[in-house]
Amino acid sequence: MLGVSIDQYGFLVQGAFWTIVLSLMGFVGGTIVGLPVALARISRGWFLCRVSSAYVQFVQGIPLPVIMFVVYFGVSIYGFDVNALVAAAIAMTLYSSAYLGEIWKGCIQAVPKTQWEAGECLALTSVQRFIYVILPQALRIAVPPTVGFLVQIVKNTSYSVVIGFFDLTYSAKILNNATFKPFVIFTAAALIYFAICFPLSRYARRFELRLHRRNA
């Protein structure tokens, strides 16, 4: 097809598989680290607040490819031989935790203060108030921006090409070297990225509209 064999397209699909794997690892890691970051950002403790804020600003101030390099080469200096997948997953975790932390902090703060107060007046403890009153409401608010950020994660996994991780972008690059059909191959890669991301942004948009209608 267009001078590229079915097997060669299959090679791209293989790359796409690893793009999805890395995206999921980045998202899960980003959730595990990002949720505590969000909580620390809204905490009243001076220390937690400062540390988490510094973390977010630090990570957001560094381009993702540089984070990839630092993790990949930085870690091997200490004698650990990290493979590209582990390094890329760690880098994606750092990156997405900083952004998800900020997104979720905003969602928690978007729940009206009067909801905290209502819980307080019913003698709920602060942990109970958070779990039963604030969190369920914040989660609903959080779905659209979180799914939207998932799209960013998918696209940004392509930076892992700098440390030689085999993903969709990398497989397209190899294929191009073998076939010299850059337009066909990178267009195919682009379409696959789009096919992964489009349903996500569609879903985020639909959910957002539904929320707005509920609140109207």
Partner 1 sequence: MTVISMNSVHTPVAPQDGAQPMVSFRDVHKSFGALEVLKGIDLDVMPGQVAALIGRSGSGKSTALRCINGLEKINGGELTVCGRNLRARDFELRELRKEVGIVFQSYNLFPHLTVEQNVTLAPRKVNGLDAAESRALAAEVLEQVGLSDKALSYPEQLSGGQQQRVAIARSLAMRPKLMLFDEVTSALDPELTGEVLRVIGKLAAGGMTMVLVTHEMAFARQVADLVVYMHQGRVWEAGKGTMLDDPQTVELRQFVGSGL
User: Applying CB under 8 A, which residues contact partner 1?
Assistant: 114-115, 117-118, 120-125, 128, 132-133, 136-137, 140, 214
* Distance of closest approach, residue 213 Cβ to partner 1, in angstroms: 11
Give the nearer residue to partner 1 in terms of CB position, either 119 or 145. Answer: 119
d(CA 110, CA 45): 20
Give the nearer residue to partner 1 in terms of CB position, either 111 or 196. Answer: 111
* Distance of closest approach, residue 9 Cβ to partner 1, in angstroms: 46
Say if CB 10 and CB 76 are below 8 A apart. Answer: no
Give the nearer residue to partner 1 in terms of CB position, either 77 or 215. Answer: 215
* Distance of closest approach, residue 212 Cβ to partner 1, in angstroms: 14
* Distance of closest approach, residue 121 Cβ to partner 1, in angstroms: 5
HEC string for the chain: CCCCCHHHHHHHHHHHHHHHHHHHHHHHHHHHHHHHHHHHHHCCCHHHHHHHHHHHHHHHCCCHHHHHHHHHHHHHHCCCCCCHHHHHHHHHHHHHHHHHHHHHHHHHHHCCHHHHHHHHHCCCCHHHHHHHHHHHHHHHHHHHHHHHHHHHHHHHHHHHHHHCCCCHHHHHHHHHHHHCCHHHHHHHHHHHHHHHHHHHHHHHHHHHHHHHHHHC
Give the nearer residue to partner 1 in terms of CB position, either 57 or 120. Answer: 120
Give the nearer residue to partner 1 in terms of CB position, either 73 or 132. Answer: 132
* Distance of closest approach, residue 128 Cβ to partner 1, in angstroms: 5
